[in-house]
Chains A and B, each alone.
Chain A
Amino acid sequence: MRNTNFTETQFERVLKSGRFAITAELNPPDSADPEEVYRAALILAGVCDGINAVDASGANCHMSSLSICALLTKVGYEPVYQISCRDRNRIAIQGDILGAAALGVRNLLCITGDDVSAGDHPGAKAVFDFDSIQLLRTARKMRDESMYLSGRKITKSPDLFLGAAANPFAPPYDWRPQRLAKKVAAGAQFIQTQYCFDVDKFKEYMRQVRDLGLHDLVYILVGVGPLRSHRAAEFMRSKVPGVVIPDKIVERLKKTPKKEQQKEGKLICMEIIDEVKDIEGVSGIHIMAYRQEELVSEIVLESGFLPRPIKK
């Protein structure tokens, strides 16, 4: 159905070639200085195939994902543009998708978004005009049928590689794989999961995903990331929506002397990568290292994923 005139994105090309793909999250600045984006991107660009520009994650105010993407494409980096349903209605979102495509943004990650209550403006009005699946399908419609949701024509359709998020670690566990099937049917071509700290649970999830045959239809990137300390782990699992960290990992960090904890956190992350990378149906990893970008390159290097495929 998809117009074959479209060219592949670098990220898509890596996935299609069967090579293990790596994406990483860029921590959005609280600043109007583009240099802050470039400084963070410089570290990431050489070690991953796509840089995620988050859309006010955790409902905290930051530089917007679209503008970060614009800064990144300007210098030839490949962003993954995250759009959440929390802050914008269908009119704004569809306009942003066209604008993003015009700026050379190709990879789009459609997510529901954390509620405003999780962030620094809990009194804000939450929008949620779309849910993530409706957003995905609308984006696909814009690309494949060259029309808005209203049916009105688009003269040049946006060339998009569509993605969605998945959280295998939140209830209702048995329905999560089927919900993934809905996302795939709505248009998802790649998936980036929530942080994986419970490999056994993830294996069970992937077993069900394979049962449904979804691993043949969508590229799955497992969310991973280094924990800075046992405090950070405690904070994340109690305050960040959807993050599940088993006790045994928190205990392991706690037993480690304070100064060594960051190193231990990185080690845990690399152990998890090592375990998940060989699971059938896993196409890559998505690294989220909150305020620890420098660790991303170490992790990628030491896990043996360098060099990355050359960009065309």
Chain B
Amino acid sequence: MKNFFMIFQEFLYDIAHNFLKPFSGLFKKNSVVEKILIGLEKVGKGAVYNCQMCGECILHSTGMVCSMNCPKTLRNGPCGGVRLNGNCEVKPEMKCVWVRAFENATQMPKYGSEMMWIQAPVDRTMKDSSAWVNIYQEVDPKKMSNWQTEEDNLRLQEMWRVE
């Protein structure tokens, strides 16, 4: 069941991507279109993923769990404080974001292995802007900070194991 649900989300992600692509010419920074998209993302991703509007969406690389919900806002995996029951060090009543992310990612045949990617530090100026605009505009913080990890990422992805 979970398996199906995760594959379905991967499918939706691809559809959204392909659907938006032809319109990407309209995706300009500070445009009306961006304003609309911000609204859509806030409401849509907010409701489903508790999106924190970091503006640099990596949802599909983190098991469709918004890692900005981790109280330490970690982007590359769990801290060492995860409790034995899988709950968060900081919020004992909440399941660790990364425990959830890992569980989900193992059910995601297409994007699951992207959990192994080394994610760049968050560019805080992107906060509350539209991640969709940023993606198509190629406002890529990785490029700005020479964060070249593509080679590492490919090697790391091969180490992804689902047992």
Contact = CB atoms under 8 A, between A and B. Distances in A.
Interface of A: 85-86, 90, 112, 114-115, 117-118, 126, 128-134, 137-138, 141, 145, 147, 149-151, 165-167, 170-172, 174-175, 178-179, 181-182, 185-186, 194, 212, 241-242, 244
B72 A134 contact: no
A194 B102 CA distance: 21
B81 A170 contact: yes
Contact of A182 (B72, B84, B156): B156
Contacts, number: 125
Q: In the complex, which of the residues B78, B99, B155 has the most CB atoms of chain A within 10 Å of its own CB atom?
A: B78
Interface string B134-161: 0000000000111101001001100111
Given A129-B124, A137-B149, 6 more contacts: A115-B89, A170-B80, A171-B83, A171-B86, A241-B89, A242-B82
B116 A182 contact: yes
Nearest to A126: B72
A112 B75 contact: no
Interface in B54-98: 71-84, 86, 89-90, 96, 98
B74 A128 contact: yes
B119 A172 contact: no
B155 A185 contact: yes
Contacts of A242: 79-82, 89
Given A115-B89, A131-B74, A185 B118 contact: yes
Size category of the B interface is 35 or more
B118 A137 contact: yes
Contact of B160 (A86, A118, A172, A178): A178
B121 A172 contact: no
B79 A112 contact: yes
Contacts of A166: 80
Given A114-B89, A241-B89, A244-B84, A134 B121 contact: yes
Contact of A181 (B71, B75, B82, B156): B156
A137 B118 CA distance: 9
B26 interface: no
11 contacts: A86-B72, A115-B89, A115-B90, A131-B74, A167-B81, A170-B82, A172-B82, A172-B99, A178-B160, A185-B155, A242-B80
A267 to B, nearest CB: 25
A147 B115 CA distance: 27
B37 interface: no
Nearest to B87: A171
Contacts of A174: 102, 161, 163
B120 A170 contact: no
B14 interface: no
A172 B80 contact: no
B159 A181 contact: yes
Contact of B145 (A128, A132, A151, A167): A151
Given A90-B121, A182-B116, A244-B84, A172 B89 contact: no
Given A131-B72, A175-B102, A241-B81, A147 B89 contact: no
Interface string B99-120: 1001100000000000110111
B71 to A, nearest CB: 6
Contacts of B145: 149-151
Given A137-B118, A242-B82, A172 B74 contact: no
A179 B71 contact: no
A181 B118 CA distance: 10
Nearest to B122: A129
A264 B19 CA distance: 66
Given A129-B121, A130-B121, A241-B80, A172 B159 contact: no
